[in-house]
């Protein structure tokens, strides 16, 4: 066994002081669509461009600012403060059917169903206190029940006697109440301004490097209906969302002189600049009314190598505003696995029985994602989804397919998702998936300009 002598850091009294002055300034610049007039047009395309210029930007640290108001759809008036209506959790993403990020002419990522996809990623990755702390700035305060109910305690039907202890309502939804409280406290009522980080939407957010002199485009496609972004109780009039501003706030980075010279030397010497990140590929499909379901997906190996596959089911969640598309259903799943290039993941059959609370295997797969993907220490904190809530609200299935055979390094990788249920899947059931894959590109330089190409 090889050993070597170390010294405790407290004894290293001559350790040099580290000073990082490589960035002279970092200032956020605002980019907006050519017009803010079509933000509420059904199915409209909202495009925000950063034109090529002599600047270094870091889109991984960028974010969207979305401003608007929740109002009644029948008369454009605000709701009464006690009306049981608010935006769904992660509502800004449910406003769009697709969000696309492009560098030059290359589509880096295209996310369909961004509401469900980013919700699943958020439930897997956010810390356990996010919903009750910083999350609300992004319209994130996760549901604690599937009810549009902000009343925490049941009303007494008789005059309370001495020593009366109020009964907590079993349909109270803490997340709904927090989101409603924020909107109803605004003046005018229903107004909001939310921040959505770039890395909440795209895996490219992990590429924390400056990018020089190329065009960036962010394209958002507005849904034809606001139903999936709003949740209200029975008897409350339908609402709509009126957007008045969308801004993409992107940092411009100015390097100090010596560092800037080194960056320019890289470009002028025509060195290829590697770009690697964990891309997200999304898909969805209607689930047939049967006890078994097989779903075939595919990615091109070499350009992409699948690492994680994340799946969520929803029954009757996206038709009316009384439904909640920010929660998921377990459908009495009894078994699930992935077949990737002929290999099965996990190799052993799972035993799942939600009615008897036998779903710890699935929850362990869910809980392990954050530990493995982010190298997260579970002793520091956990996910925001506890064991009971996983069953009732967030039964998200995570397949770890990182360790693969060498034969999967070329060609098209066939992915088959196979699910088994103890009864026929109900009508109006959708399944959503996102594949997290290694994706490799490079910037080619002609000595002056950069072009993004794939390996």
CB 126 within 8 A of CB 222: no
Identify whether 119 is preceded by a cis peptide bond (ω within 30 of 0): no
Q: Which of 70, 7, 57, 5 is CA-nearest to residue 31?
A: 57
Angle at 224 between CA 219 and CA 230, to 5 degrees: 100
Q: How far apart are CA 48 and CA 181, in angstroms?
A: 31
Q: Which two tokens stand for residue 243?
A: 């957007």
Task: List residues bridging with 218 in a β-sheet.
Answer: 48, 101
Res 158: pLDDT = 62
Res 373: pLDDT = 87
Res 408: pLDDT = 55
Q: Which two tokens stand for residue 23?
A: 């960035």
Whose tokens are 């010294």? That residue is 7
How many angstroms separate the Cα of 356 from the Cα of each of 73, 137, 229, 328, 351? 43, 38, 33, 19, 11
CB 215 within 8 A of CB 104: yes
Per DSSP, the residues of 287-322 read PPSSSEEEEEEEEETTTEEEEEEEEEEEES-SSSTT
Q: Which of 329, 321, 323 is CA-nearest to residue 425?
A: 329
Helices (H), 3-50: none
Res 455: pLDDT = 74
> Exposed, middle or buried by CB within 10 Å (0-12, 13-18, 19+), for 8?
exposed
Res 380: pLDDT = 64
Angle at 374 between CA 362 and CA 30, to 5 degrees: 120
Contacts of 271 (CB under 8 A, 6+ apart): 445
Res 165: pLDDT = 77
Q: Is the entire prediction scored with pTM above 0.85?
A: yes
Q: Which two tokens stand for residue 207?
A: 């590429």
Q: How far apart are CA 246 and CA 264, in angstroms?
A: 33
Res 403: pLDDT = 84
Q: How far apart are CA 265 and CA 446, in angstroms?
A: 12
Res 411: pLDDT = 56
How many angstroms separate the Cα of 450 from the Cα of each of 54, 79, 446? 11, 51, 7
Res 382: pLDDT = 74
Q: How far apart are CA 122 and CA 357, in angstroms?
A: 24
Point out the residues of the chain with pLDDT beneath 70: 1, 156-159, 298-303, 378-381, 405-412
Q: Where are the domains of the chain?
A: 22-152+166-454
CA atoms within 13 A on the CB side of 268: 6
């Amino acid at each position: 066994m090889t050993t070597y002598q170390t010294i405790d850091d407290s004894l290293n009294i001559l350790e040099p002081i580290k000073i990082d002055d490589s960035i002279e300034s970092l200032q956020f610049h605002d980019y907006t669509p050519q017009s803010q007039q079509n933000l509420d047009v059904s199915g409209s395309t909202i495009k925000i461009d950063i034109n090529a210029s002599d600047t270094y930007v870091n889109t991984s640290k960028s974010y969207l600012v979305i401003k608007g108001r929740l109002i009644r759809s029948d008369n454009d008036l605000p709701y009464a403060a006690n009306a049981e209506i608010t935006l769904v959790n992660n509502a800004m993403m449910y406003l769009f059917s697709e969000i696309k990020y492009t560098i030059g002419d290359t589509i880096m990522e295209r996310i369909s169903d961004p509401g469900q996809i980013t919700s699943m990623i958020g439930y897997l990755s956010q810390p356990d206190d996010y919903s009750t702390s910083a999350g609300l700035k992004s319209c994130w305060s996760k549901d604690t029940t599937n009810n549009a109910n902000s009343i925490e305690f049941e009303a007494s039907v008789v005059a309370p006697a001495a020593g009366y202890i109020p009964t907590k309502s079993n349909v109270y939804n803490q997340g709904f109440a927090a989101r409603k409280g924020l909107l109803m406290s605004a003046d005018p009522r229903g107004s909001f301004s939310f921040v959505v980080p770039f890395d909440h939407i795209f895996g490219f957010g992990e590429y924390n490097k400056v990018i020089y002199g190329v065009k960036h485009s962010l394209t958002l496609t507005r849904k034809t209906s606001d139903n999936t972004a709003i949740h209200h109780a029975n008897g409350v009039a339908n609402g709509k969302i009126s957007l008045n501003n969308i801004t993409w706030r992107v940092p411009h980075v100015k390097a100090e002189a010596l560092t800037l010279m080194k960056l320019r030397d890289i470009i002028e010497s025509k060195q290829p600049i590697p770009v690697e990140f964990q891309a997200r590929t999304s898909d969805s499909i209607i689930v047939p009314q049967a006890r078994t379901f097989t779903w075939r997906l595919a990615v091109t190996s070499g350009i992409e190598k699948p690492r994680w596959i994340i799946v969520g089911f929803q029954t009757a969640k996206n038709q009316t505003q009384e439904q909640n598309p920010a929660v998921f259903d377990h459908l009495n799943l009894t078994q699930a696995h992935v077949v990737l290039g002929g290999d099965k993941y996990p190799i052993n059959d799972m035993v799942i029985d939600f009615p008897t609370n036998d779903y710890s295997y699935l929850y362990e797969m869910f809980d392990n994602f954050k530990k493995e993907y982010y190298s997260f220490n579970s002793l520091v904190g956990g996910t925001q989804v506890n064991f009971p809530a996983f069953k009732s609200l967030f039964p998200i299935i995570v397949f770890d397919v990182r360790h693969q055979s060498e034969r999967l390094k070329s060609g098209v990788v066939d992915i088959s998702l196979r699910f088994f249920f103890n009864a026929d899947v109900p009508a109006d059931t959708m399944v959503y998936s996102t594949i997290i894959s290694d994706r490799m590109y490079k910037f080619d330089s002609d000595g002056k300009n950069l072009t993004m190409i794939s390996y």
